Amino acid sequence: MTAQLKLFDNLTGIDKTIMDKSKPIKIFNCGPTVSDFIHIGHFRNALLVDVLIRILSEIGYKDVLYVSNVSNISQKIYNRSLREKDRSWSELGMYYMYQWIKDLSVCNVITPNIIMPDTNHVNSIINFVQNLLNMNVAYETQKGVYYKIKYLHDIFDKNNIKNLPLIKAIHDNNEDILIWEKVFDSSDNMVWNSPWGNGRPGKHIPCSDVIDQYCGEDDYLIHCAGDDLYYHHSCEISHNLIGKKNSKIADIWVYNSLVNVEDQKMGKSLGNSVPLRELIKRYSPESIRWYLLSFKFSSVIKYSEKDLSKAALEWEKIESKIKNFKKVKRSNDNKFYYEKVIAELSNNLNTAKALQIINAQTVNSIDISVINTSVYLLDMLGFNIENII
């Protein structure tokens, strides 16, 4: 196809078009902290990458590798293991990591080619921290090892990125960044031996290390995440610009906005999360996918059961209409319709407009070529259409 993918870059604040379809593309996504089952907000982030990979493949970008970290070194996980007592923090983290993968698979979401839990690369992180110390951009204290914020500011100034939206918050921050936390409590076993004594990685170093391991200078790197991680990504940028061998930062930073409940961010710690596996008991994965994709990824979703039920009815009408036709097949027979939808998806993954077109075309048509094209497009967008054709 001649279509090229245009994405809004949250670092520079401008749209960027990926021109070279032959260049290897790496997608890095900030994975979950695996202290519980994922909620619908986490699922939206997974759908961002899912749709991105599907449209890249559809329009001819074939060399795509999807990499995700998993935060399984976390105080949340450790505290939960102390409360529950029947599982160690390590067992708890691995359990919820596999449940994350299971929930995504049930919903036909593309899972990462490479999944890197924090615990799998602690030695590499220690080398990363040591390298920063050797470069004199970090220092050791009684509490741990800290990255000097002064050098972060210098890097941003040098690369002319200090005023860009993604890193504005950290540029105004004068607190040095903890990159290795020392642990003195002998009962705390979430620790690793290091040149600085027993401890564990800081929050931001693991992602930088994964990017360095799997994303080379010649790759086109797309970094995906929720848009509540600006500070975290500022730290990533700083580490990778100075601390590692390839000084690679993302070519495009692609964010999804949050799913809110009554104007408040959905979160497990806030007690307002809507677990995905609970929703699947009441709604089909296709209905949930239709609901979330009916919004632009850049738009905040104000979650309501009423809106989800409305989306479920829309999906049921589409299913019913397709089932009324005999000998339906996956085929983009109607080129005008197909190219109209692809144009929207190629323009900043505009799933909201794409679904509007698909809905109108499907529900109002008696043309088998239109229905075949709807089936093709729905399948391409990750909807499981096996039960309706």
The total domain count for the chain is 2
| Rg, the chain, Cα only | 22
How many whole angstroms separate alpha carbon 205 and alpha carbon 54?
A: 30
Domain span at residue 28? 6-260
The 10s digit of each residue's pLDDT in 79-88 is 999 999 899 9
Decide if 273 is inside a domain.
Answer: no
Which residues make beta-bridge pairs with 177?
A: 147
Asked if 92 and 35 count as a contact pair (C-beta separation under 8 A), the reply is: yes
338 and 373 in contact (C-beta within 8 Å)? yes
pLDDT at 272: 79
**Cα 250 to Cα 12: distance, rounded to the nearest angstrom:** 11
Residue 333 in contact with residue 369, Cβ under 8 Å?
Answer: yes
Asked whether residue 240 falls in the same domain as residue 324, the answer is: no
Angle between helices 335-346 and 351-364 (to 10 degrees): 160
What stretches in the chain show pLDDT beneath 50?
A: 246
Closest by CA position to 121, among listed 201, 67, 184: 201
Are 314 and 180 within one domain? no
**Claim to verify: residue 162 and residue 42 sit in the same structural domain:** yes
Q: Which amino acid is at 346?
A: S
Q: Is the pTM of this model over 0.95?
A: no
Confidence (pLDDT) at 198:
96
* CATH number of the domain enclosing 239: 3.40.50.620
In a domain, 281, yes or no: no
User: Do residues 34 and 77 touch, judged by C-beta distance below 8 A?
Assistant: yes
Q: Quote the pLDDT of residue 175.
A: 80
* Residue owning tokens 């209409």: 321
pLDDT of amino acid 111: 96
| Residue 111 lies inside a defined structural domain of this protein | yes
Q: For the packed helices 230-242 and 205-214, what is the interaxial angle rounded to 10 degrees?
A: 50
Nearest to 28 by CA among 254, 258, 296, 347: 254
pLDDT of residue 137: 86
Give the pLDDT of residue 271.
75
327 and 216 in a single domain? The answer is: no
